[in-house]
Structure 1
């Protein structure tokens, strides 16, 4: 029997981006595990709303990554899962975050710096994935006291969740 990553009774705030053949089952499993899952679609809020209806389990559509980050500004650890077609889409999402300085703003309350854990499940191009991770690391280290630390994890999937 495996040990859960999150202790029983603790729920994570998760933003899911990419609800295709691989992303939708991943999202369902995250929601079924009792975590709060918000949905963002690069195709717009209507698509996000439809995805929420497909998932059920109390998922909520959000109009933008920025609105989700702002709504969860006081949460010390946030989780964003991407499962999009290529590394190019991941790079565009990273650029959106890096180019809007306010997106990673977070008050430092307590001993630890707030974090955004970005788990990228895209089966992408490794050199570009490494460049994205570096870009996010540099952006979150600028004015570190006022910014949410971004921890980027490459977690590519293939063949679907089992």
Structure 2
């Protein structure tokens, strides 16, 4: 064989090897790198609620976590105890036999002393503010500013109570 043909064959092999390496690196960057965060929305398709609201979800079945017991992993994931009976945490791989099971912290109405999920008392109808000072309208569910005491969406008016709650007029 001539040296020109051997040189062309060698160059062709180098080009093919380079293309294969580039494809491998591209595939690794898109699909295999666990810390990329690119597909993080597939892992948690449901929105996480604001702190203090009653609409937390199980990280396995995505069912709503109510006021019953909740299993909490050391990494912060929350589950129904029956969902994790013989499994491991999908977030960190910890054995769930070592997970603490506790009751969720539920806001209590200071006047009626009953659980007020979502900041609204089912007994007296009072609505209590979140950490940012806003509260949820009992009629339409939109945010109400405490300085206005009226819902912008439905027009429901509120009166401030001495227990730091708000009640519809």
**Considering the TM-score relative to the shorter chain, is it more than 0.5?**
no
Larger RCO of the pair (alpha carbons < 8 Å, separation 6+): 1
The structure with more strand, counted as a fraction of residues: 1
Greater share of helix: 1
TM-score class, shorter-chain normalisation, is under 0.3
* Pair member with larger Rg: 2
After TM superposition, the score normalised by the length of structure 1 is 0.24
